[in-house]
């Protein structure tokens, strides 16, 4: 049978960040609440020269070679912070990357679940067209507002996944359990550029969905915790996955519990320094695990729990491939984190309020201040103007 899965993974976050202990001080909150209670150390801050399109394009730019650009015939862009109600963000990325024109390009929305739907769609497409490659993007800017309970769980970034047959990193298995229920735990009306959340309900539903889906998965697959090297989670903040994992750990031995807890911790490292990136968050956590842990044996099974408020959840799995470490971009990601610039709380607040005009007026930005390859250069005639400095 044809193995289908993740062949390459790219990641990009804006070059600015805020230290959570400084945000805590300015909001008169004990810093331990943010760093331990929520589990976040740094939060990516998005300059006006980046949006969900540019973040995704930058994440993909670092991983694709010319052969990939020729072979990709489907671009699936998962986002809940898209830039247009009609045109898909995937079409902009397709152009910015210079992809083969004989391609489909669409946007998928269901809160933080969009990229997972994209991966499953890509798997079906490759099963029918084994020579094709699909670019799946998860890109978002999480905004709740200044001085809101959600403020400490903001962030921004994108993950780009190249899905193909005979993948170099992870082969996806066919067993998966998905679940939908209409819940108002988190939403963003079309008139608002900030999300609304019922924080307590969202935490409860995230855990309840995991519990339901995990029970169903065990019954369907016959597998249990011992069969997993690690379980990765959608991470709105890094304490969240821990809260869902803890109640089920008693199902297994101390040894397996320790393995899952250690690997969970490693899977939170990148997210802890970036914040919530919504639909890319699960895949940032997967990336953190496989880049920051020592190499796992080929065939190790990794679980992935995707949760998109509203709500749709899914648990699915993949097997790490022989030599997968050689296909990761660890140095690039270390450099990305090391080169970020800290902003003060007043600077973050100013950047947060600097949004694009909504009255049709024109604006132009100096993209030289933004080290990213692909930037938003302005808006004119109601159209966003993008630039790829290397194309």
Residues serving a catalytic function are 80, 112, 234
| Token pair in block for residue 59 | 């994440």
Q: 53 or 197: whose CB is closer to ligand CAA? A: 197
Would you give the binding string for ligand CAA spanning residues 29-68, x where CB under 6 A is met?
Answer: -x-xx--xxx------------------------------
Closest separation in Å from C-beta 188 to ligand CAA: 10
Q: Which of 88, 263, 267, 276 binds ligand CAA (CB under 6 A)?
A: 276
| Contact indicator for 268, 238 with CB cutoff of 8 Å | yes
Question: What is d(CA 273, CA 149) in angstroms, rounded to the nearest whole number?
Answer: 19
Cβ distance to ligand CAA smaller for residue 81 or 276: 276
For residue 331, with 0-12 CB atoms within 10 Å meaning exposed, 13-18 middle and 19 or more buried, which class applies? exposed
- Residue from the set 8, 133, 143, 234 that interacts with ligand CAA by CB under 6 A: 234
Q: Is 264 in the site for ligand CAA (CB under 6 A)?
A: no
Distances (CA, A) of 232 to 101, 122, 240: 35, 20, 11
* Residues 100-129 within binding reach of ligand CAA (CB under 6 A): 112
Q: Which of 325, 287, 320, 285 is nearest to 305 (CA)?
A: 285
- Shortest Å, Cβ 194 to ligand CAA: 11
Rounded to a whole number of angstroms, the distance between the first and last alpha carbons of the chain is: 39
| Distance from C-alpha of 131 to C-alpha of 165, rounded to nearest angstrom | 7
Residues 153-182 that bind ligand CAA (CB under 6 A): 153
Q: Which region, judged by CB under 6 A, interacts with ligand CAA, from 233-241, 298-306, 314-322, 349-357?
A: 233-241
Per CB under 6 A, does 145 bind ligand CAA?
Answer: no
316 binds ligand CAA, rule: CB under 6 A: no
Hey, what are 232's tokens? Answer: 């990765």
Give 107's strand partners: 77
Binding residue for ligand CAA, selected from 77, 278, 324, 348, defined by CB under 6 A: 278
6 burial type by CB count under 10 A (0-12 exposed, 13-18 middle, 19+ buried):
buried
283 near ligand CAA (CB under 6 A): no
How are strands ordered across the β-sheet holding 16-19?
42-45, 16-19, 341-342
Does position 209 interact with ligand CAA (CB under 6 A)? The reply is no
In the complex, least distance from residue 279 CB atom to ligand CAA, rounded to whole angstroms: 9
Only segment of 144-152, 319-327, 342-350, 372-380 that touches ligand CAA (CB under 6 A): 144-152
d(CA 206, CA 200): 10
Select from 28-36, 291-299, 337-345, 359-367 the region that touches ligand CAA (CB under 6 A).
28-36
* Cis peptide upstream of residue 311 (ω within 30 degrees of 0): yes
**Cβ proximity to ligand CAA, 4 vs 44, nearer residue:** 44
Q: Which is nearer to ligand CAA, 178 or 296 (CB)?
A: 178
Query: What is the C-alpha radius of gyration for the chain, rounded to an integer number of angstroms?
Result: 20
Which of 46, 285, 309, 321 lies at the binding interface for ligand CAA (CB under 6 A)? 309
Stretch that binds ligand CAA, among 14-22, 66-74, 199-207, 260-268 (CB under 6 A): 199-207
Query: With contact defined as beta carbons under 8 Å apart, do 259 and 229 qualify?
Result: yes
Instruction: Give Cα separations from 329 to 180, 286, 287 (angstroms).
Output: 35, 13, 10
The answer to whether the CB of 169 falls within 8 A of the CB of 138 is no
Quote the strand ranges of the chain, DSSP E: 4-12, 16-19, 42-45, 72-78, 104-108, 133-142, 155-165, 170-180, 186-187, 196-197, 230-233, 301-308, 312-320, 341-342, 363-364, 374-380, 383-388
Q: Which stretch binds ligand CAA (CB under 6 A): 56-64, 99-107, 117-125, 146-154?
A: 146-154
Say whether residue 92 binds ligand CAA (CB under 6 A).
no
Helix axes 114-128, 281-292, angle to 10 degrees: 80
**Of 40, 110, 176, 203, the one binding ligand CAA by CB under 6 A:** 203
Q: With respect to ligand CAA, which residue has the nearer C-beta, 164 or 285?
A: 285
| Minimum distance from residue 30 beta carbon to ligand CAA (Å) | 4
Tell me which residues touch ligand CAA (CB under 6 A). 30, 32-33, 36-38, 112, 149-150, 152-153, 185-186, 197, 199, 202-203, 206, 234, 236-237, 239-240, 276, 278, 307, 309
């Amino acid at each position: 049978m044809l193995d289908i899965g993740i062949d390459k993974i790219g990641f990009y976050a804006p070059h600015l960040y805020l230290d959570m202990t400084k945000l805590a001080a300015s909001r008169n909150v004990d810093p331990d609440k943010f760093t331990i209670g929520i589990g976040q150390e740094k939060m990516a801050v998005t300059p006006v020269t980046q949006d969900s399109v540019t973040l995704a394009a930058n994440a993909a730019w670092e991983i694709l070679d010319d052969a990939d650009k020729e072979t990709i015939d489907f671009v699936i862009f998962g986002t809940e912070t898209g830039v247009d109600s009609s045109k898909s963000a995937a079409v902009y990325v397709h152009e910015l990357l210079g992809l083969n024109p004989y391609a489909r390009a669409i946007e998928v929305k269901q809160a933080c679940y969009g990229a997972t739907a994209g991966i499953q769609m890509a798997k079906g497409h490759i099963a029918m067209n084994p020579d094709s490659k699909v670019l799946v993007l998860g890109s978002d800017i999480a905004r709740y507002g200044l001085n809101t309970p959600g403020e400490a769980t903001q962030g921004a970034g994108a993950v780009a996944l190249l899905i193909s047959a005979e993948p170099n990193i992870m082969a996806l298995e066919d067993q998966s359990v998905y679940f939908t229920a209409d819940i108002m735990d988190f939403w963003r009306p079309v008139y608002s550029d900030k999300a609304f959340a019922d924080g307590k309900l969202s935490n409860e539903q995230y855990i309840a969905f995991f519990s339901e889906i995990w029970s169903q998965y065990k019954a369907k697959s016959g597998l249990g915790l011992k069969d997993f090297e690690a379980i990765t989670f959608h991470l709105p903040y890094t304490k969240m996955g821990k809260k869902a994992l803890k109640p089920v750990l008693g199902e297994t031995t101390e040894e397996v519990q320790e393995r899952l807890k250690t690997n969970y911790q490693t899977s939170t490292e990148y997210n802890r320094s970036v914040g919530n990136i919504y639909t890319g968050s699960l895949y940032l956590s997967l990336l953190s695990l496989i880049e920051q842990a020592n190499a796992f044996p080929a065939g190790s099974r990794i679980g992935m729990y995707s949760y998109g408020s509203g709500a749709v959840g899914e648990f699915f799995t993949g097997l790490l491939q022989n030599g997968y470490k050689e296909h990761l971009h660890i140095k690039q990601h270390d450099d990305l984190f090391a080169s970020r610039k800290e902003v003060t709380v007043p600077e973050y607040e100013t950047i947060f309020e600097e949004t694009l005009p909504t009255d049709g007026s024109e604006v132009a930005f100096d993209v030289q201040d933004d080290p990213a390859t692909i930037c938003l250069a302005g808006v004119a005639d109601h159209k966003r103007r993008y630039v790829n400095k290397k194309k």
